Amino acid sequence: MIKKCLLWFLRGLPLGFANVLPGISGGTTMLVLGFYDELIDALKKLCIKKLLPFGLGVIFSILLASRGVVFILESYPTGTQSVLTGLILASVWVVIKKIGPGRQGLICPLFLLGFVIVAAFTFGTSAFIDLGKNPFLGMFIAGVLSSTAMLLPGISGSTVLVILGLYELTLQAVVQLQFSLLIPFALGVIGGLILLAWVMSFLLTRYPRVTLALLAGMILGSVPMLLIDIWNLRNIFWIGMGFLTVIAIEYVNLSKLRHCVFCKNLL
């Protein structure tokens, strides 16, 4: 019993680190470590013996990683923004690759729809979700949306926070332990993981290509805002490094992905 709890706690550690960085997919991390299907099954069955130590491992690693990321963001803002852009661009490539060949149908329209929706909001406002009127509800919704991405190989929960305009705010909340923001966010993540495990499983099993097309467009829609004022040779180099990091992880992950029951329709 203790060994199993320790195992699930240790499994949560890399997932927490992965979800702090945009572009580093928690779903991909679970595939690499070989417990993706087992976690989806635990979420569907609400297996507390597995989920509780796993969640504690995720929280512990997020608390550690967030401090380092906040320090880097404050010390090297432009360079960090360039790396994040590369990570997100690579995530788009990874998701598009999973769509694969076949009848186009709604693929292109849904991709463009996702791009336009997110790009319009990110350029039209400083944040996709306005926390001014109701911070509790805003962070709860952000948690739900982030949890959706946490279950998808190739898509990072932090990428969703970048799209929503809440990435740095959420990191600061973790570092400063602002529970007024963290509690609703955590509730959204927990509720989203439980409920959306079923929804995403259904969509990716029945309609994998159109679902991924919409998601890819939404991810790409967050990039134009990040590209503002970072165009020089050094920053382009860091964009490339961020891009290659995700590609390398995806390459290592490929063999695991082929044996994943839940993700077999993504190949």
Residue 261 pLDDT more than 80? Answer: no
pLDDT (tens digit per residue) in 131-154: 666 788 888 988 888 887 777 665
Q: Where are the domains of the chain?
A: 2-266
Average the pLDDT over 60-75 and give the result. 82
Residue 123 pLDDT more than 70? Answer: no
Check: CB of residue 224 under 8 Å from CB of residue 97. Answer: no
Q: What is the mean pLDDT of the chain?
A: 76
Q: What is the pLDDT of residue 213?
A: 84
| CA–CA distances in Å: residue 159 to residues 14, 45, 167, 194 | 17, 28, 8, 20
Q: What percentage of the chain exceeds 90 in pLDDT?
A: 6
Q: 19 burial class (0-12, 13-18, 19+ CB within 10 angstroms)?
A: buried
Average the pLDDT over 6-24 and give the result. 81
Check: CB of residue 91 under 8 Å from CB of residue 155. Answer: yes
Q: pLDDT band at 41, cuts 50/70/90?
A: confident
Q: What is the pLDDT of residue 254?
A: 54
Alpha helices (H) in the chain, listed in sequence order = 2-20, 26-33, 36-45, 48-75, 77-99, 107-124, 135-150, 157-164, 167-176, 179-206, 208-221, 223-227, 233-258
Average the pLDDT over 153-173 and give the result. 78
pLDDT (tens digit per residue) in 178-210: 998 899 999 998 888 888 777 767 776 788 788
Residue predicted with more confidence, 227 or 119 = 119
Q: What is the pLDDT of residue 209?
A: 82
Q: What is the pLDDT of residue 187?
A: 92
Please state the pTM of the whole predicted model. 0.63
Residues 6+ apart with CB under 8 A from 257: 31, 153, 263, 266, 267
* Identity of the highest mean pLDDT range in 37-41, 75-79, 136-140, 159-163: 136-140
Q: What is the pLDDT of residue 56?
A: 92
Q: What percentage of the chain exceeds 70 in pLDDT?
A: 73
